Structure 1
Amino acid sequence: MVNIRSLDPSASPLDYYGSELRRLREAAGLGQSQLGGIVFCTGSLIGQIETAKKVPTRDFSERLDAALMTGGFFTRLVGLVLRSQLPTWFQPYAEMEAKAAYISTYQCQLVHGLLQTPAYARAVLGVEHSELLDEMVAARVERQRILERDHPPVLWVVLDEAVLHREVGGREVMQMQLAHLLSFACASWVQVQVLPFEAGEHAGGMGSFTVLRLDDNPDILYTPSYGHGHMTADPQAIRQRSVGYSRLQATALSVEQSAELISRVMEERYGHGGVA
């Protein structure tokens, strides 16, 4: 039976997407199954998206725009829909991150979200969010699109060496993740350094943090915590962390040495001959 549940388009980006899909589909004189056949999915999926029970993907949105000749409407809208799937407490940071011209981050436990592969992100998010896993992974991948812009932000990442050795998702997932980090070697706007174990005590001892430099707004310091994060534009706090970050960069291996270490760990620990 066709689902005709009514939606309030103003309730959320997902509800708006669903209501517009239904309106434009009906205006085109197509049933759910008919449209599904055109965009290579089931009529049931069309119905689930129209009733905000399923989150659309970017690929689906692009096929939808082509089928309904909407001039890229759904492709533009899906970014807002996917960002709305991020945890509520994280959305303000994601909005500022998307506006940043320069992102400096130290990560002591995990690869930074902007550099995670979908498989790695699925393993990380699946620990506590298995019921919304597809949506949350899609939202994280969507967040990474800022690195694909014509003028992307500069992203400088310092990873603790422990990040390379912490097996997230299994050996194959880690091998793909470390290879992904190495793939940025030719991207001048992404720099990855590794803070080696032998560095001992260091300026990142209190945990991960990120400094966002914005062109038209004050800089932002973000520190994650369990179930929430803290943002501040306090100049003194930003100055202290910026100095600390410079010390981390100076203590870490060079970009070239870091790539060599990542490659070595990928082969020795996660390659075919690696330790299980």
Structure 2
Amino acid sequence: MTHVNVLDPGASPLDYYGYELRRYREAAGLTQKQLGAVINYTGSLVGQIETARKLPTQEFSERTDAALGTDGLLTRLLGLVLRSQLPAWFQQVAELEARATEICTFQTHMVHGLLQSPSYARAVLGAVDRGNLDDRTAVRLARQRILGKEEPPVLWAILGEAALRQSIGGPAVMREQLARLLSFADDLRVNVQILPFRAGAHAGLTGSFNLYRFGSDPAIVYTEGYGKGHPTANPATVRDCSLRYDHLQAAALSLTDSTDLIRRTMEERYGEQQL
């Protein structure tokens, strides 16, 4: 266990989490195996998390906080830990999402990450790389924690109709994903509109983009390429994309009609008879 002794809490949020976990466990006079028995995990897993070799989960953090009397420290650290595991070029986006008061996103062919179901996220992430897929999926889904904050951002999501029809992961996965979109139908802070094929030429033909607005800071536009992101607060770009978004909202179906199309597509294209 030499690695445990040299663990540097300043090396990363994951190392800090492991350091604090070990410190609280030892203060409680428990071995890794004993703590594992209390929280219904293996001692080996406790050791892997303590040495920053395994990502903690929400459930692990909550159980450990309760067992060790940490006043919720590990659960509070979890968001920072998981955000630090995102690709370096994407970490700034997660920070923008966490700070924004309003998020406007237009996606041409895929459901935005903040709205993805677990199986859909896993299918997307595993399309070209299946390595470490469980942890990568957990990290992506952790971004959705912002929707459950005491004061969550208002999210406007315009999805091209292709996002409903591109069968990612198969019919069962798509049915789960569309059901997740429908679950937001009565949420005034999460608004999903569909841009139908029949809209023809539209203001978003150049591609997907996100617009982040904040309480006092300038708005930021974010676009993405392969392996890199492009955030900008350039006023001209922000004005242009804001205008484009207004036109996209005008061309998209209403919230009610969008819900009807999502439900109809789920039943007709991904119904149980096709599973």
Normalising to structure 1: TM-score of the pair?
Answer: 0.96
Q: What does residue 109 of structure 1 align with?
A: 109
Q: Is the 8 A contact 1:82 1:142 kept in 2?
A: yes
Aligned residues: 275
Paired residues for 1:81-160 under 5 Å? 81-160=81-160
Distance 2:128 2:217 in 1: 34
Q: Is the 8 A contact 1:114 1:144 kept in 2?
A: yes
Q: CA RMSD in A?
A: 1.4
Distance 2:6 2:67 in 1: 24
More displaced 10-residue stretch of structure 1: 221-230 or 119-128 = 119-128
Task: Return the letter of the residue paired with 1:265.
Answer: T
Q: What does residue 61 of structure 1 align with?
A: 61
Q: What does residue 216 of structure 1 align with?
A: 216
Q: What does residue 202 of structure 1 align with?
A: 202
Distance 1:151 1:73 in 2: 21
Secondary structure of the structure 2 residue equivalent to 1:52: coil
Task: Return the letter of the residue paired with 1:108.
Answer: T
Q: Which structure 1 residue ranges, 5 or more long, are not aligned? A: none
Q: Does 1:258 align with 2:262?
A: no
Q: What does residue 235 of structure 1 align with?
A: 235
Q: What does residue 171 of structure 1 align with?
A: 171
Query: How much does 1:150 deviate?
Result: 2.3
Q: What CA deviation, in whole Å up to 9, does each residue of 1:12-43 have, x standing for no partner?
A: 00111111111211111111110100010101
Distance 2:26 2:187 in 1: 45
Distance 2:21 2:273 in 1: 50
Q: What CA deviation, in whole Å up to 9, does each residue of 1:109-158 have, x standing for no partner?
A: 21011100111111111123422222221122211111112221111111
Task: Return the letter of the residue paired with 1:7.
Answer: L
Q: Which structure 2 residue ranges, 5 or more long, are not aligned? A: none
Q: Is the 8 A contact 1:167 1:174 kept in 2?
A: yes
Distance 2:20 2:197 in 1: 53
Task: Return the letter of the residue paired with 1:121.
Answer: A
Secondary structure of the structure 1 residue equivalent to 2:9: coil
Task: Return the letter of the residue paired with 1:80.
Answer: L
The alignment-based identity, stated in percent, is 59
Q: Is the 8 A contact 1:82 1:135 kept in 2?
A: no
Query: How much does 1:200 deviate?
Result: 1.1
Distance 1:5 1:141 in 2: 32
Secondary structure of the structure 2 residue equivalent to 1:192: strand
Secondary structure of the structure 2 residue equivalent to 1:53: coil
Secondary structure of the structure 2 residue equivalent to 1:223: strand
Normalising to structure 2: TM-score of the pair?
Answer: 0.97
Query: How much does 1:5 deviate?
Result: 5.3
Q: Is the 8 A contact 1:121 1:137 kept in 2?
A: yes
Q: Is the 8 A contact 1:6 1:51 kept in 2?
A: no
Distance 2:186 2:253 in 1: 18
Q: Is the 8 A contact 1:120 1:169 kept in 2?
A: yes
Q: What does residue 24 of structure 2 align with?
A: 24
Q: What CA deviation, in whole Å up to 9, does each residue of 1:180-225 have, x standing for no partner?
A: 1011010001111111111111111011001111112110000011
Distance 2:258 2:122 in 1: 25
Q: What does residue 8 of structure 2 align with?
A: 8
Q: Is the 8 A contact 1:3 1:47 kept in 2?
A: no
